Amino acid sequence: MSTLPPGGFQAEVTANQTTFATPAEDGVAASIGITSRTPAQLAWKRFRSDRKTMAAAVIVAIYVVLALLAPVLVAAGVLDPYLTHQNLIDSNGLPVGSFGGISAAHPLGVEPGIGRDTLSRIWLGLSLSLFISASAAVFAIVVGVVLGIIAGMSRRWADTLIGRLVDLVLCFPQTLMLLALSGLVVTWLTGTLRIPSGTTAQATYVIFVLGIFGWPSVTRIIRGQVLSLREREFIDAARLIGASNGRLYFKEVLPNLWAPILVQFTLILPAYVSAEAALSYLGISVKVPTPTLGNILSASIQYGSSDFLYFIAPAFLLVLVVVSFNLLGDGLRDALDPRTQR
């Protein structure tokens, strides 16, 4: 509908317009003692010189490793997010001891109420939240990229059709739809698709709906990129030697889109971590006892006054995840798109 970019951070359009040095320029450069660099090397150099982004990348890497380790540690019995410790809870339902019941066995204390280990829950919750967000982001990116390429490459009705579909999906109120569809879709998932009810069905629902409402913005950005790519000589060349549409779309165009895809993925993922938390608060994401960052945070906000550590720890972790991913995404975009000067 709108001719404007969608709101939010994604409005800052990404691009991968790297200029390639011609052989002649290379020769000149070599003769005056300048080494030539590939676009990837240039991007890496920009990326590395950006300390903020490097820090974010390190934190993200640590998070990913921690998230991958969590299920292993739970299986090995090192972390136990489900075992209750009633003996560590006083008569008011609050943890015994100072700072939310910190001890060697429970470095972040125990959960008020039934005394599950906070660290274990947050750790496994982080793992599940990242899994859900990453899956939803992959879903949105795959659908968005495929439709974006088709829309950008075809000059006729397919472009119009996809454009209108994007408009249609974008005019649905997202939070409202997520809320309204939850009951229906979960029933459908467990009934028709025979997905086990409980955590699996709830997680599938969140991934499904976030993806369904997430792809249009990706499609818009990818389409814009494809519009400029399709005028390039290598596309004409491929067409001339008789390449099929499938080959043109996915062998010629797609590899040139890795930069915006990577940037989009890094920016969508933290948005989905937040979205999962919001859905948890509305009671339509994965439910306790299975921990996610969202449902831990939704439970912990009731203890603002009484158990400050339990209140602040999940929020701090969530903010750190979202901020680092956003910083990484911004940094990647700056590195891969030299024209943006921010």
Partner 1 sequence: MIAFAIRRILVGIVLLLAMVLVVFVLFFAAGNPARDVCGKYCTPQKLANITQVYGYDKPITYQFGQFVKGLAVGRDYPVDDKYREALQKSNPSLVIHCDAPCLGYSLRSAITVNDAIAKYAPVTISIAVYAFIIWIVFGVLFGVIAAVFKGKWLDRVIVGVTLVVYALPTFFVGTFLLQFIAIRWKLFPYPRYVSIADGGVFNWLIGLTLPAMTLALFYMAAYVRITRAFVLESLSEDYIRTARAKGLTERVVLFKHGLRAALTPLLSMAGLDFAALLAGAVITEAVFSYQGLGLLAVISNRNSDLPILIGLVIVAGAAVLAANIIVDILYAFVDPRVRLS
Write down the least CB distance from residue 143 to partner 1, Å: 17
Residue closer to partner 1, measured from CB, 56 or 253: 56
Residue closer to partner 1, measured from CB, 88 or 137: 137
Residue closer to partner 1, measured from CB, 253 or 314: 314
Q: Do 207 and 132 touch, CB atoms closer than 8 A?
A: yes
Please give the sequence-ordered ranges of beta strands (E in DSSP) within 275-328, or none if there are none.
Answer: none
- Residue in 340, 339, 331 with CA at minimum distance from that of residue 46: 331
> CA–CA separation, 205 vs 9, rounded Å?
25
> CA–CA separation, 239 vs 247, rounded Å?
10
What does the binding site for partner 1 look like in residue numbers (CB under 8 A)?
A: 1-4, 7-9, 11-12, 164, 167-168, 170-173, 175-177, 179-184, 187-188, 270, 274, 277-278, 281-282, 297-298, 301-302, 304-305, 315, 318-319, 322-323, 326-327, 341-342
Residue closer to partner 1, measured from CB, 145 or 216: 216
> CA–CA separation, 53 vs 335, rounded Å?
10
Write down the least CB distance from residue 75 to partner 1, Å: 30
89 SS3 class: strand
Residue closer to partner 1, measured from CB, 181 or 254: 181
Tell me how many helices (H) and strands (E) the chain has.
Answer: 12, 0
Residue closer to partner 1, measured from CB, 12 or 159: 12
> CA–CA separation, 48 vs 115, rounded Å?
44
Q: Do 1 and 167 touch, CB atoms closer than 8 A?
A: yes
Residue closer to partner 1, measured from CB, 110 or 273: 273
Write down the least CB distance from residue 192 to partner 1, Å: 10
Write down the least CB distance from residue 201 to partner 1, Å: 16
> CA–CA separation, 96 vs 89, rounded Å?
5
CB atoms closer than 10 angstroms to residue 259: 22
Residue closer to partner 1, measured from CB, 9 or 234: 9
Write down the least CB distance from residue 22 to partner 1, Å: 28
Write down the least CB distance from residue 94 to partner 1, Å: 16
Residues 6+ apart with CB under 8 A from 6: 170, 217, 220
297 SS3 class: helix
Q: Do 325 and 255 touch, CB atoms closer than 8 A?
A: no
Write down the least CB distance from residue 2 to partner 1, Å: 5
Write down the least CB distance from residue 327 to partner 1, Å: 7
> CA–CA separation, 34 vs 237, rounded Å?
32
